[in-house]
A and B are shown apart, each in its own frame.
Chain A
Amino acid sequence: QVHLVESGGGVVQPGRSLRLSCAASGFTFNSYAMHWVRQAPGKGLEWVTIISYDGGDKYYADSVTGRFTISRDGSKNTLYLQMNSLRPEDTAVYYCTRGDGVTSAFDIWGQGTMVTVSP
């Protein structure tokens, strides 16, 4: 079965850093682009970032450019999101999702990990 399992969320003070991980299983991780999508409490979904199947291309939403870095380790089938200079508005559930390169859809989602940025 295809699975994505996020970890690394928690409570952090503004200005601090946090690294999220997403462990993939049940599919050929190195063949797919991967995304992070977040959802603030009681709000809608927001696309955050994408990394290509080989890690060569990365794109970010304006709201996180320069502060967040996406990466992947194919040997560990794991996706990462390094979040620096965190702000209260970054408080959200962060979902790891698999990207379909042809349809540009997010076809598999993890259960999410909660990040709370608070003094």
Chain B
Amino acid sequence: QSALTQPASVSGSPGQSITISCTGTSSDVGSYNLVSWYQQHPGKAPKFMIYEGSKRPSGVSNRFSGSKSGNTASLTISGLQAEDEADYYCCSYVGSSTSLYVFGTGTKVTVL
């Protein structure tokens, strides 16, 4: 099972909106509405940000939103803030014999 494909880096100025893509296949992202997103600051554990493609857990800012179209999921951060600078990972349930879950390659978000 190959990792989902994310851009290595995305940047934006404070207040702007950015979008991170997460491209899989019809066997993972395209088959299940079970994509989640995680934020990870350097040296810290990942933080749960989005589930089922577009739903936010309690406590996560509404500046974070998710969507999915076909085999590609996306995370949009609006009103970019300095504290949003971090690595972001998507993840999809796969249910295959080699792995039940697959993560994305990760995207470094830089706030200019």
Partners in one complex: yes
Chain A residues in contact with chain B, CB under 8 A? Answer: 35, 37, 44-47, 50, 59, 61-62, 95, 100, 103-112
Q: Digit string of B77-112 for contact with A (CB within 8 Å is 1, else 0)?
A: 000000000000101010000111111111000000
Considering the chains assembled together, what is the distance between the CA atoms of A50 and B46 in angstroms?
A: 17
Provide the residues of chain B in CB contact with A103, threshold 8 Å: 34, 36, 51-52, 55
Q: Once the chains bind, are B99 and A61 in contact (CB under 8 Å)?
A: yes
Q: List 11 A-B contacts (CB under 8 A).
A: A37-B103, A46-B103, A47-B102, A61-B98, A61-B99, A62-B98, A103-B36, A104-B101, A106-B91, A108-B48, A112-B45
Residue of B36, B48, B103 most packed against chain A (CB within 10 A): B48
The majority secondary structure among interface residues of chain A is: strand
Within 8 A of A (CB), among B29-60: 32, 34, 36, 38, 45-48, 51-52, 55, 57
Residue of B38, B91, B101 most packed against chain A (CB within 10 A): B101
Residue of B with least CB distance to A110? B45
CB contact under 8 A between A107 and B57, given known A44-B3, A44-B105, A45-B91: yes
